[in-house]
Structure 1
Amino acid sequence: MIVTPTGTVSVHPVERAIELLRDRYVFPERAEAATATLRQRLADGAYDGLDDSTLAERLTADLLDVCPDAHLWVRVRDERRATARASIRRVEILDGNVGYLDVRRISGSTGGGRAVVGAMELVSRTDALILDLRHNEGGSPDGVVLWSSYFLPAEPTHLNSIHDRVTGRTRQFWSLAWLSGERYLDRPLYVLTSDQTFSGAEDLCLNLKVRGRARLVGETTRGGANLATVLALTPTLEIAVPHAYSINPITGGNWEGTGIEPDLAVPAATAFDVAYAELREREPGAQEPPGH
């Protein structure tokens, strides 16, 4: 507990973090180990006199020592992060009638659906498509369903299941039988990856890879298959607590901590050039690709 200058009693941010982890963290046994570590560090005075930024860094480091989970962190709250970011950075039709989509975030089907529909319409008449997820750090499971549906047949396909510790329920995610626009089928699809491709973007990669629908080119992805909720510790600090995990219906597991290996491993910086060259190698006299 902390007594403020006005006499108000508030919960210490570390105690609040312990409470949230014990109640919500996806793996209860790891939560107990993490909270024991935090309690001992708190008793030892490891968090005394720290400013918000330093406290956030120290808490995150201590948590990851026990729970190596890329969705688990503490940071200083910044309202600017709530500002909507463009989910699709770039749409092009390249020489050779190859489509190119640079997708930076997997937006929810409600908020980002129009952008996905519009982008897929623009590339709908191309002979091949490059989907660039090298800078994509994830997003909404519903958005993953929408993107996946454009590259899979109309018959609904079980894509993923997510088990939530808080509710005790497992929700299944299936591809959509109806889309606003044409599906992109029977044409080459290349997906570019990097070690920063994360979370929902990895879900999309796995959906397409295990069904043989896409060729992944680049680097092994970052490896985050859990779902987290961001909660307040104090008016100026927040914590992301993973509370659910993915279960792929084909592999029976997920990509947490391991990432997804590409079909063709190359440095992320050269992944576009390699993919584009493969798509155009049958064309005599193909021009050099534009810079990406």
Structure 2
Amino acid sequence: MRQDETTEIIERAAKLVAERYVLPDVAERIAAHLGDRLRDGRYADAPEPAALAALVTEDLQSVNGDLHLRLRHHPTPLVERDDDPIEARLTPLARTTMGGVARVERLAGNVGLLEIRPYLFPPQLAGDAVTAALRLLVGTDALLLDLRGNRGGSPDMVALVCGWFFAEPVHLHTMHDRSGDTRQFWSAAYVAGPRYDADQPVYVLTGAETFSGGEELAYDLQQLGRATVMGERTRGGAHPCEGFPAHPHLELTVPVARPVNPLTGTNWEGCGVTPDVEVAADDARDLAYRKALEILLDSDPERPTADEARAALAALS
């Protein structure tokens, strides 16, 4: 890459961080750090955009470890438009991944399984698909919500999903932006079908790759006492971001707000969601399935699905 081109990219990134990053004092430090690295010649030998993206991302995250703050490389050129590049990228991805509904299944013993990946897409892109999956599962007696491969998504979709698990709207978090403006997020007051009964156990499966919106869904259900989280500690990214084009192949993602949970007074930024039951991500589904079957059989040994539940338990042993 030409030196003048690289300089322009770094200076634009520093300016955007200084103006938009959610924590103003940290923003100044990050922007100054990028300027120092530029003057030190840190980026002079970056041969192409992908290499520059890796170097800049390392420097952006070195100040406070915010994993949402990065210079992202795109192999194909970014579409020239005024919209947020993140939204532009998610629209075709939602269409080709069934709105993130990777798997919906009734397991033996009448235990439901819903796997949402790669993202919790915004409701306008995937609300119908996720609602259809939840409506199929509402008749199950326990639910495994698999977020091990979920890399983030929309707080509005989190609110929609949470609406299925609470009889009345509950306060999930308050989003604070840099200017001091706030927006409260509540679980959806209306869902298109019967809600999941409060007596039906819910297990959320997490892994080391669970990130951002996937972490929020796990955190919200855990803190509100509606689900047991099983698996590995998550990555620890709570700050929602916006995308800004910095080059035909480079997108700067800048965290612009921070959620505050009304119960904990904080969030999962930098620390991740700690599971209630820590287990290797690969083992989380079987362990949660076993726990669900045991609870269901203990509560009603003569339930109509008892025989298949016992057979499933034996197969898991």
TM-score normalised according to structure 1 size: 0.91
Q: Which residue in the other structure is 1:107 paired with?
A: 121
Give the aligned residue type for 2:26.
R
- Mapped to 2, the partners of 1:163 and 1:289 lie a distance apart of 49
Q: Which residue in the other structure is 2:190 paired with?
A: 178
1:78 positional shift: 4.2
Q: 1:84 aligns with which of 93, 104, 116?
A: 93
Contact 2:240 2:256 in 1 (8 A): yes
1:265 positional shift: 0.6
Q: Are 2:196 and 1:190 aligned?
A: no
Structure 1 outlier segments of 4+, above 2 Å: 77-83, 281-291
Contact 1:146 1:175 in 2 (8 A): yes
Q: Which residue in the other structure is 1:162 paired with?
A: 175
Q: Which residue in the other structure is 1:208 paired with?
A: 221
Task: Structure 1: give runs of 5+ residues left out of the alignment.
Answer: none
Deviations 1:102-123 (A, max 9, x none): 1112111222110111101111
Give the aligned residue type for 1:181.
G
Give the aligned residue type for 2:188.
L
- Mapped to 2, the partners of 1:235 and 1:36 lie a distance apart of 25
1:213 positional shift: 0.7
Give the aligned residue type for 2:55.
R
Deviations 1:123-152 (A, max 9, x none): 111111111000001101100000011011
Give the aligned residue type for 1:175.
S
- Mapped to 2, the partners of 1:174 and 1:289 lie a distance apart of 41
Q: How does 1:7-18 map to 2 (within 5 A)?
A: 12-18=8-14
Counterpart secondary structure, 1:275: helix
Q: Percent identity?
A: 44
Give the aligned residue type for 2:253.
A
Change (3 A) 1:3 1:59: closer
Change (3 A) 1:24 1:117: same
Q: Which residue in the other structure is 2:301 paired with?
A: none
1:251 positional shift: 0.5
Q: Are 2:69 and 1:64 aligned?
A: no
Q: 1:120 aligns with which of 128, 134, 145?
A: 134
Count residues with an aligned counterpart: 284
- Mapped to 1, the partners of 2:202 and 2:172 lie a distance apart of 18
Counterpart secondary structure, 2:128: helix
Change (3 A) 1:156 1:287: closer
Alignment root-mean-square deviation, CA: 2.1
Higher helix share: 2
TM-score normalised according to structure 2 size: 0.84
Give the aligned residue type for 1:149.
G
- Mapped to 1, the partners of 2:209 and 2:162 lie a distance apart of 20
